[in-house]
Structure 1
Amino acid sequence: MEFIYPPFTASNYQYIDHTGAFLASRNTTFKATIINPYPGAQVTNFYFGIIYVPSNQLIWSANRNTSILTSDKLTLTSTGISITRENGQLVWSTPRLNASVAALQLLESGNLVLLDKLNRSLWQSFDYPTDTIVIGQKLPVAAFLSSAATRNNLSTGSYLFTIVDNDAVLQWNGLTYWKLSMDTSAMVDSSSSVAYLMLNESGLYLIGGTQNVVVISLILNNSTAFRIAQLDYEGRFNVKSYSDQWTQEFTGPSDDCQIANYCGGYGLCTKAAAGSNAGTCSCPAGFHSNSGSGSGFKGCSPTNPSSLPSPCGNGASLNSSKMITYVNLGSGVDYFANEFSAPATFGQDSFACANSCSGNCSCLGYFYAQSSGYCYLLNNQLGSFFTPANGIDRTGYIKTIASLNINSVVGGQKRRSLPLVALVLIPSSAVFLLISFVLIGFIRWRKAVHSKMKKVKLDRMSSHSSTEIDDFSIPGLPVRFEYEELDVATNKFQSKIGSGGFGDVYKGTLPDKTIVAVKKLSNMSNQGKKEFCTEIAIIGNTHHVNLVRLRGFCAQGRQRLLVYEYMNRGSLDRTLFGAGPVLELQERFDIAMGTARGLAYLHSGCEQKIIHCDVKPENILLNDHFQVKISDFGLSKLLSPEQSSHFTTLRGTRGYLAPEWLTSSAISDKTDVYSFGMVLLEIVSGRKNCSMKTQSLSTGIDNDSGGNSSPSTVAVPVYFPLYALEMHEQRKYIELADPKLERRVTSEEIEKLVRVALCCVHEDPMLRPSMANVVSMLEGKIPLGVPRVEGLNFLRFYGRRFTEASTIEGCNMANMLMLFPDANASQSSNTTGSYSSLSYISSQQISGPR
């Protein structure tokens, strides 16, 4: 039967045989029945569920956490479905419905649906997945699949496959251990927010945006076979298809040691062999196995006499006969959660990290990274450790509880003797007082040493010593140059090729004849060499074809220099606004595309998101064939306190600043999107967005803005973003093209660039596309965005203020401060923001070219 109608009652007595299911889909592909999913395992647990008939695969169950007894009954009434015990106790039911139930239908898709008398859906099983989804079923954001507890226990286990706003992730007890986006088989197509996951004949897709943009895709062999995606009881997410037999199409993670609890609590997973995904389980140093004979690996416990701490609220407080100790896991051991969570603290020493864990009853241990000072706390419940393929710069410590030895007597009283441990924190005021004295002495000793070292460093700097003591190691640092090497390479810094807020840039030649650009940083913070090198390591490890490569650095004495690859065509502003050869439209498009790809990588492609904060033509460099590379990314963290104090108010260059800088709103990657939109408008027009334009007095015909005005023309100020908005409203896109192109472009080509640019400069950051979506629009992979005029009305206010300022004082970029009135003036305008006065900002750009 495809339909059943209330009132209806079924029990295991009636439907113990799978073939006697009380409800089937139209083509009997699926059946709803009371089933024992483990008949071969001699398990007598029964569930109300849906099976895929050809393989007898259970795809959904209602009562997975409470099995049905042979005498229990399933009932369909006008209020829904319910399962009750023989004594009337409720086992499971559908939620309260908005209307009376007229029928229960099993669709050919495998979806079980309750219908009202107008055949409208009141409830469907697709909205309540267990551990499996099928083709056509959507898993919306925040929804999840939950694993079975064991192979023969259908109740909810500890693993989840859940959809988050930008990915699909696997979690164990709330901790992420795998992401779909990190799998080599998956392709990240967009950075849009995810709406839902779906499975179809061609693969698995995360879909987002109002236009069903593909965010992440997992392309499989196109097939008409039945396909499911399932989270198994061991914590793997599998996609498999059925045609006579099951075929595994995808598994994530494929590596056993990436599974959070593969070796049980405190177990250590090691790859069985090089190139293999199989893992073998053992215990780390200081632990022994919990496994019984022939029972498989069940995790580890600390070697006696230590024991694991009790959970919070369960005798967690220490008494006078116990103390906290830490077991060092040794080198080459890591924990899965460290890669997916931010450190609890950073910039502290290992003692402070241990103290953070010791004072927290939910903390079971910690990992400390010596080079960065990152402290990762392990809370609530511990899964398995693993040995990474590559070395790690952090060491793990596991909290244990040790009993004090009472082995000596003084004056008739027993005296406690403390065991030797690496880190001991006893909850005693006397010990804390002792530690305080030790710390005071240690601080005084460090100050004395620091004073001596400072004098030594000053002496070395004055003599330009080529050697320094490096007492730290930071993985990933680029080549380290001595100051004298760069002094020679740049001919004593005489060949200056650029300057800006970060410092001057010099052309240099290394001994191997490689030409480089050397940036001599100024206005930098007084941070230590170690902290500076940590930031440089991040920049140096950020590689993309559209980012300027950092070849090396110098941190000697107070000198801070960066060595970049040399871009022989200089910055975009020289080519775009200079008197050289005209850039053709395709060249402009390639420049825009390269810039967009570089920014998209900074925002979502590299290990640590980087917001550039100063996207402008001066920071877009060109090489032969107009290859585009973005410079000055990641340098904001190197600003001096005086410079960085502007960060909450102003960062970047006037003319490219997003409105949120002026309204104390949050700064995000959408700030770079705004600046890119402004740059894209300049690429289209071939002139600065704030410029003068010559216009005929008699005819009103516009002339090239670069020429001198004749007696019959007059120079008028033009705020190009507003002009672009007006031409967009009138669909006169060809008017926006650079006159130097002499109509060698079409309206459609200009429309594409202008619409993308206007979408980028919406006043509300939420209306701006991500840079990944910008790339997709330029590539034609997704439809062009539609600029929302109501989100661009602030440009009319900017344009009016620019015209007033230019009429009085001329078109001088230093006078762009007048674009932004004080708060009272702005409140009476058409703009939606309330902008603070910027009159105190000097004309010096906070960051400059290269």
Structure 2
Amino acid sequence: MALVLRHTLHFLVLLLPLFHHLTAAVQVSTEFLYPNFTASSIGYIEKDNVFLTSRSSTFSAILSSDSPQSPFIFSILHTSTSTVVWSANFASPAPYTSVLSLSAAGLSITLSNGSLLWFTPRFPRPIAALCLLDSGNLILLDDVNKSMWQSFEHPTDTLLSSQRLPVGASLSTPNGDYRLLVTADDVVLLWVLGDQQYWRLSADLRSMKYLDDPASYMAANESGLFLISEAGRALYVVKLPRTNLKFMKLESDGRFHLMGYSGNGSSLTEELVAPISACDLPLSCGALGVCTLLSRGVACNCPTSFAGSADGGCSPADSSARATLSNCATEPSYRSLESGVEYFANKFLKPASSGGNVSSCRSLCTANCSCLAFFYKNSSTSCFLVNNQLGSFLSPRSQGVFDSSEGYIKIMAQSQLDSGRSRNLIPILLPSITVLLALLFAGIYWRRGKRISRSRKSPKFATLKLWTSKTRDRGFAGAGSISDESDEISIPDLPTRFTYEELIAATNNFRTKIGSGGFGEVFKGDLPDKSSVAVKRIKTGTSGIQGKKKEFITEIAVIGSIHHVNLVRLRGFCAEGRRRLLVYDYMDRGSLDQSLFVPSGPVLEWQERMDIAVGVARGLAYLHSGCDRKVIHCDVKPENILLHSSGGVKISDFGMAKLMSTDQSGLFTTMRGTRGYLAPEWLTNSAISDKTDVYSFGLVLLEIIRGRRNWSMVAEGWSIGGTAFGEMGYYPMIALEMHEKGRYLELADPRLEGKATEEELGRVVRVALCCLHEEPAMRPTMDGVAAMLDGTIEVGQPRPEALGVLRVYGRGFLCSGESGKGSSSSSSSSYSGLSYPYISSQEVSGPR
């Protein structure tokens, strides 16, 4: 009996380590784990594979596995929503027999044969603990609690709102096909296989640019997505709904999703998707597929002369050729795409060349073994090459653009492939003889000055070649004007160049006039693609704008490269002889003055007014700091703020300063802009800067608040607080005085019927007054103005001593028939003798 008992005790002693391991295996720790810990999916399946949680259980460390005998991935999980936010081996799941270990050397996943599948690097000191924070960060600590390694510094496909993605770092999909990369000045999405971009933060219409400083990192907080500078200032901002926690994830299809978690429930709310259009994804319809955006989803088709293949892709319709990568030993052929079809990455590609023709572009592709297709843009004579990998194309319907390219896919003959002189699958075909003849005749007719129509399914306009013209231009430019220029101009990315005859047709011989001013007249037109445009016909002899074609077109290239959601897009131009016309997008609600100052019209609600103010501020901020070259608008007024029925607000005529050939010193020889909106520096021959636009915006902002012109409140039957100010009143002075008394409600448009609170009114009035400081250096930047209006930063306090000019102007209004000189005794302002605001509303440039 004693012998049996002795053997039984010995057996139990041998089982103790196993019991200890099983007990440890099912134990879930909180916040900390210590060395000599091991875990496997077998031991933790009963605990949903969780072995560690953060202090408040917001995040969990798990061995994600479908079953005890399935491969596992070591991951961090957001507990409430079951969202994986980080994975150690997300591209290489570990066999179920593998073990996760925490030792003094670090973390590792070891296969059953003893080899390492994943491990942290070597450390100079032993690891004392593993810690999971409530931020979702997994940290290895030494014995003095110093961080030796953390998961936040090794992101996979997901980023949390408490996490930074520094310059040079990226998120990647598990298959490695797509990356979201932070560069020194932007955030981009890349298709790795073709090394092709398909989205940029700077080009996204939802982003707002503040600065041009070098970037440091990308991050999100509860209110938005940010690209932050090295100095800690925002470069780009995307405002988003406020949520407690944000998740940024790069999905396996290459789409970037930003989702918010309110703190309740088990679901996330989608707040941002990039790119917006599904057709902008590299493989939205597979290689060689043509993507068409529908109201719900997309439709995929093969290009013309291509057919569906057995593998679901596209291949040449005939059997004599295949889409194949050439080894440069064989002359390839090219197959043309239908008119208007574009490649998804073209908008981000830099031209391989400019100034050539289709033939020279084709030669570049032929000489490049990696080139699979090329696109030639007629308007700018630019050549774009698609290298390494071909993705999907975009149909004309999916692009919303009028200026398109000619696309050609490289192919090899089947017989050449069979002889072994080519390798790797790729695109195809040779332009047909018909196309070549059409191009030849197009060049001949262009040289003769004839109109050329090159429409297939969408129209194209004349290429940018300014040949010698010896014909006399009559009509608009006046009889007898002769162009003696023989320049050939090649400028990349130029907007569409229209012929004068095409614009006559588009406007029905300039029948419907929708505006006029010192710059010229504006007419409504309709292009062949059924889109509406506004055609501005610039007056003959307008100072500085009727110079040589080359200078004019160079300026057009600058203006045409400026794209922002709050700026009217320049669709194209015409430069024939002395004729100068500009073609813009059409805004169906007209200008802001029509909605703001017409008493009998619909009342703009307070939120509409604030949306307009923020949109204009962002548009001006982009002109001042978001362009390659700073643009000063010089004529900010309600007539140059256009509205659309869809809620859009856009600044027009932002190219005036560029077109007028301003002096680089900032000094102008003649006054620009509109009386009533001019900054004081215009009247003292001081240097003009972007702060001049800030002053004009401040005056417009006050008019948005009141709903009437600044200089005619009482004359139009309006009173302020029951106080009479004579026959006329200068509203900016009244706003200053009411600000000093804290009586903001009396400044609001009575038609709002109290729908704006005093707090809201006070905030906007203070922003406007800050813009009206006499000294330009004291005014905020338009970046700052936009941030104050949308609540991103705190509103500054206006300086009454710096606003004396408003009192001078205001007292001038009260002195009927006088110039305002009598006010100088009560103000230190140097502008007491100026009378510009109340003489009249005479316009220097006029509405355009």
Band of TM-score, shorter chain: 0.5 to 0.7
Alignment match, 1:786: 796
- Does residue 2 of the first structure (1) align with residue 30 of the second (2)? yes
Alignment match, 1:92: 119
- When residues 59 and 568 of structure 1 are mapped into structure 2, their CA distance, relative to the original with a 3 A threshold, is closer
With 125-134 and 246-255 compared, the bigger mean Cα shift is at 246-255
With 647-656 and 295-304 compared, the bigger mean Cα shift is at 295-304
- Does residue 396 of the first structure (1) align with residue 407 of the second (2)? yes
Q: Give the one of 664, 679, 688 matched to 1:655.
A: 679
Query: Structure 1 vs Structure 2: percent identity of aligned residues?
Result: 28
Q: Give the one of 769, 783, 790 matched to 1:776.
A: 790
Alignment match, 1:25: 53
- When residues 771 and 287 of structure 1 are mapped into structure 2, their CA distance, relative to the original with a 3 A threshold, is farther
- When residues 810 and 443 of structure 1 are mapped into structure 2, their CA distance, relative to the original with a 3 A threshold, is farther
- Does residue 60 of the first structure (1) align with residue 86 of the second (2)? yes
- When residues 348 and 542 of structure 1 are mapped into structure 2, their CA distance, relative to the original with a 3 A threshold, is same
Aligned residues of 1:307 and 1:400 also touching (Cα < 8 A): yes
Q: Give the one of 360, 376, 387 matched to 1:368.
A: 376
Shift of 1:64: 3.4
Q: Give the one of 315, 328, 336 matched to 2:344.
A: 336
Shift of 1:656: 6.8
One-letter identity of the residue aligned with 2:325: L
- Does residue 644 of the first structure (1) align with residue 661 of the second (2)? yes
TM-score by length of 1: 0.55
Shift of 1:366: 2.6
CA distance in 2, matches of 1:566, 1:286: 41
Q: Give the one of 267, 288, 291 matched to 2:288.
A: 267
- Does residue 233 of the first structure (1) align with residue 258 of the second (2)? no
Matches within 5 A, 1:457-536: 457-458=473-474, 480-481=506-507, 500=518, 502=519, 521-522=539-540, 523=542, 524-525=545-546
Q: Give the one of 747, 752, 767 matched to 1:756.
A: 767
Matches within 5 A, 1:766-845: 768-769=782-783, 772-773=786-787, 775-776=789-790, 784-786=794-796, 811=834
Shift of 1:93: 0.7
Matches within 5 A, 1:213-362: 215-217=238-240, 230-237=249-256, 257-264=279-286, 266-270=287-291, 275-280=295-300, 282=302, 285=305, 289=309, 297=313, 304=321, 307-309=324-326, 318=328, 321-323=329-331, 325-340=333-348, 349-351=357-359, 353-354=361-362, 357=365
Report Cα offsets for 1:460-484 as digits up to 9, x if no partner. 976799xxxx996899979744778
Shift of 1:615: 3.1
Shift of 1:267: 2.2
1:267 match: secondary structure: coil
Shift of 1:158: 1.3
2:174 match: secondary structure: strand
Report Cα offsets for 1:485-521 as digits up to 9, x if no partner. 69xx99xxxxxx9864x35899xxxxxxxxx999752
Aligned residues of 1:364 and 1:378 also touching (Cα < 8 A): yes
Give unmatched runs, 5+ long, in structure 2: 1-28, 212-216, 417-427, 434-438, 451-465, 482-495, 524-533, 712-723, 808-820
Aligned residues of 1:734 and 1:750 also touching (Cα < 8 A): no
Q: Give the one of 220, 225, 230 matched to 1:197.
A: 220
CA distance in 2, matches of 1:169, 1:383: 18
- When residues 752 and 129 of structure 1 are mapped into structure 2, their CA distance, relative to the original with a 3 A threshold, is same
- When residues 351 and 3 of structure 1 are mapped into structure 2, their CA distance, relative to the original with a 3 A threshold, is same
Aligned residues of 2:225 and 2:237 also touching (Cα < 8 A): yes
One-letter identity of the residue aligned with 1:231: L
CA distance in 1, matches of 2:793, 2:133: 34
With 329-338 and 395-404 compared, the bigger mean Cα shift is at 395-404
TM-score by length of 2: 0.55
CA distance in 1, matches of 2:479, 2:350: 42
Aligned residues of 1:163 and 1:196 also touching (Cα < 8 A): no
- When residues 277 and 350 of structure 1 are mapped into structure 2, their CA distance, relative to the original with a 3 A threshold, is same
CA distance in 1, matches of 2:238, 2:313: 39
- When residues 776 and 205 of structure 1 are mapped into structure 2, their CA distance, relative to the original with a 3 A threshold, is closer
CA distance in 1, matches of 2:183, 2:779: 21
- Does residue 206 of the first structure (1) align with residue 225 of the second (2)? yes
Aligned residues of 2:316 and 2:322 also touching (Cα < 8 A): no
CA distance in 2, matches of 1:348, 1:165: 32
- When residues 474 and 2 of structure 1 are mapped into structure 2, their CA distance, relative to the original with a 3 A threshold, is farther
CA distance in 2, matches of 1:64, 1:566: 51
Matches within 5 A, 1:512-661: 521-522=539-540, 523=542, 524-525=545-546, 558-560=578-580, 596-597=613-614, 599-600=616-617, 602=619, 613-617=633-637, 633-636=653-656, 639=659, 643-644=660-661, 646=663, 649-650=666-667, 652=672, 655=679
- Does residue 455 of the first structure (1) align with residue 477 of the second (2)? no
Aligned residues of 2:282 and 2:392 also touching (Cα < 8 A): yes
One-letter identity of the residue aligned with 1:93: T
- When residues 359 and 566 of structure 1 are mapped into structure 2, their CA distance, relative to the original with a 3 A threshold, is closer
CA distance in 2, matches of 1:49, 1:565: 51
1:206 match: secondary structure: strand
- When residues 111 and 80 of structure 1 are mapped into structure 2, their CA distance, relative to the original with a 3 A threshold, is same
- When residues 499 and 349 of structure 1 are mapped into structure 2, their CA distance, relative to the original with a 3 A threshold, is same
- When residues 18 and 423 of structure 1 are mapped into structure 2, their CA distance, relative to the original with a 3 A threshold, is farther
- When residues 528 and 356 of structure 1 are mapped into structure 2, their CA distance, relative to the original with a 3 A threshold, is farther
Alignment match, 1:159: 178
Count of aligned positions: 677
Give unmatched runs, 5+ long, in structure 1: 150-156, 311-317, 406-418, 425-437, 491-496, 507-515, 576-580, 690-702, 708-719, 815-843
2:783 match: secondary structure: coil
Aligned residues of 2:516 and 2:522 also touching (Cα < 8 A): yes
Shift of 1:30: 6.0
| CA RMSD in angstroms, aligned pairs only | 7.5
Report Cα offsets for 1:340-389 as digits up to 9, x if no partner. 55666667644454466566666543323334545444344332224343
CA distance in 1, matches of 2:225, 2:480: 57
- When residues 706 and 82 of structure 1 are mapped into structure 2, their CA distance, relative to the original with a 3 A threshold, is farther
One-letter identity of the residue aligned with 2:198: Y
